[in-house]
Amino acid sequence: MDPIVCKHKIPSDKRYVELLTNYLTNLLRLGGYNESTNTQVKDIVFAFKIALKRAIEFAYGDNTTSPLQVEFKVFSEKLEITIRDYGKSYNPSKNSSSTLDDYEEKGLALHVIEKTMDIVRYTAHHQKGGTLKLVKVLKHLKNG
């Protein structure tokens, strides 16, 4: 089966976070995954919401008009989410820590995302911005 692929280009305005969070929830429903019967689906949606908010904050700060691209790919057994910004690059090593107590708010957000998703990969681009790729294996989440 071909994946469901949806691409969105939005401004860097946090008002769009809820819109795309709802979109992801509905997209997962179309793929047969339901948040009302599976708490892991809620966790995935929450991790995406945190990731998108942080991408906007780190890349653009208070600028609400710069471009951001979000792509969802729902396969039969995995979900891939790609968030691409064109603002300042993020350095994940600045928020690394060996204990949860050492995390600041932004480091804690990254911790939650990493604990929820199976793959979290950030790539800084030489010219501007970066790409955050989130992958979650879904085969065990499918509603019967």
CA distance 125 to 141: 33
By C-alpha distance, which of 38, 54, 69 is closest to 112?
Answer: 54
Consecutive 10-residue averages of pLDDT for the chain (144 residues): 90 96 92 77 94 92 94 92 88 51 62 92 88 88 57
By C-alpha distance, which of 86, 76, 47 is closest to 139?
Answer: 76
Predicted confidence at residue 142, as pLDDT, reads 61
**CA dist 72 → 25, 54, 98 (Å):** 11, 18, 31
Predicted confidence at residue 127, as pLDDT, reads 79
Predicted confidence at residue 104, as pLDDT, reads 54
